[in-house]
Chain A
Amino acid sequence: MEELVRQKARELLSTRQLECVIGWERASDGLTSRPFFAYTPEEADRLIYDQTCVNSLAKFLVDKRNKNTAIVAKPCDTRAINLLLLEKQIKRERVYIIGVTCAGMREVSFGYMGEKLQAKCLLCPQHNPVVYDFLVGEPVAEEAVRSYEDLAEIDARTHQEREAFWQEHFNRCIRCYACRQACPGCYCQQCFVDQLDPQWVGIRIAPQENHQWNTVRAFHLMGRCIECGECQRVCPVKIPMMLLNRHLLREVESKFSFQPGLSPETPPPLATFKPDEDLGI
């Protein structure tokens, strides 16, 4: 697969008017990967694709929105691309998508490659890219039904226990906003937490404000999270925010039969309505 990706990238860079090919290269530790922008056919040889390519690259397309680019995209990245297309952040004709099939990314920590798949990959329903111009790898069978088994533990708790659980996690938050920076869905030029007038959320790092930030961050991704898991991966204090995101995904799936990122056309659930719907309010 890796060789095919390189070959295609080389071909694109030498035959088309492209700014760059966005992919991954081997990081300096010789084990993990990091995002890489190949600007010349020679640089394309540095591209890799294996079970360490965990970073979501789709967000870079927003920075490159006025340039022609190609991107190597895993299934979750292609869902992010659909999201960005739907929300008119990027233009389809400007992006050449080299879709790669994915068997899940492996747990990697400093200097050590785990046998286990990342938690998010174990729950991931998508193994084939949903949008691409060129496919690398053989399409694999998809699981038909999505599982939300990870949420059962929280569902079983009482409200007091849930509150205590989240309070404990949110209290650790240092509001570095790494979750926002890494999220392909968080592309606002000015985020509500950066605004000083009106000041939606105080800049103090304290339980109240942390709670507001984490609640509203999750809500803003309602029906938009494509489960790349980047927010949780980059979180320095390991707040399990994918639980919140996935709870909201479960909600939009059950209430509006909607799954984000599968199509660049279906209107997002909060931007539309049915006059007679019963939402169980």
Chain B
Amino acid sequence: MSQKSPLSQEPRIVGFLCNWCSYAGADMAGTSRICYPASIRIIRVPCSGRVDPILVAKAFAMGADGVLISGCHPGDCHYVQGNYFTRRRFAVLRSLLDFLGIEKERLRLEWVSATEGQRFAQVVADFRDQLLQLRGAG
């Protein structure tokens, strides 16, 4: 249950960005006029630790090509340890989805801080390229 978008279309990426670092990082990319693919649909969450596996499962079930979870760098979490829990949960969730037939590469975890606008743009561009590649292969 993870129908990908048609070949003619841009891949659809759902991005869960934490309010304190990555969302501000995306904002920074915007205010710095850095271009990044429009493939990503951003959803702001209080912390990357808020990203319940249900949300990821739902995103894939509803036709997302990729899901990006992005939060503060380890050690920089606004809630001190939220992203450490995310990291563990992510590792297992990705392997479960892989076992279910959703390629590992389609779920991504990245640490982007509030100042890393450039990096955010890079992450999204890379992810999009990877999804296009995967689509070509599959």
Contact = CB atoms under 8 A, between A and B. Distances in A.
A255 B93 CA distance: 12
Interface stretch (B17-25, B32-40, B98-106): B98-106
B132 interface: no
B57 A212 contact: yes
Contacts of B98: 159
A216 B1 contact: no
A228 interface: no
Nearest to A164: B101
Interface residues of A, number: 41
Contact of B96 (A209, A211, A222): A222
Contact of A201 (B2, B58, B81, B101): B58
B125 interface: no
Interface centre among B74, B100, B103 (most CB of A within 10 A): B100
Interface string B84-106: 11011111111111111111000
Given A163-B2, A167-B1, A255-B91, A208 B61 contact: yes
Contacts of B87: 273, 277, 279, 281
A216 B53 contact: yes
Contacts of B89: 270
B84 A273 contact: yes
Contacts of B61: 208-209, 211-212
Contact of B84 (A209, A215, A275, A281): A275
Contacts of B96: 215, 218-219, 222, 244, 247-248, 251
Interface centre among B54, B88, B97, B102 (most CB of A within 10 A): B88
Nearest to A250: B95
Contact of B100 (A162, A208, A223, A275): A162
Given A211-B57, A215-B57, A216-B53, A248 B101 contact: no
Given A211-B57, A270-B85, A252 B92 contact: yes
Interface residues of B, number: 32
Interface in A72-128: none
Contacts of A212: 1, 54, 57-58, 61
A1 B84 CA distance: 48
Contacts of A270: 85, 88-89, 92
Contacts of B100: 162-163, 166, 215, 244
Contacts of A164: 101
B109 interface: yes
B77 to A, nearest CB: 11
Interface of A: 154, 159-167, 170, 192, 200-201, 207-212, 215-216, 218-219, 222-223, 244, 247-248, 251-252, 255-256, 269-270, 273, 275, 277, 279-281
24 contacts: A163-B102, A166-B100, A167-B101, A201-B58, A208-B62, A212-B1, A212-B58, A215-B97, A215-B100, A218-B96, A219-B57, A244-B99, A247-B95, A247-B99, A251-B95, A270-B88, A270-B92, A273-B81, A273-B85, A275-B74, A275-B84, A279-B91, A280-B91, A281-B109
Interface of B: 1-2, 53-54, 57-58, 61-62, 74-75, 81, 84-85, 87-103, 109, 138
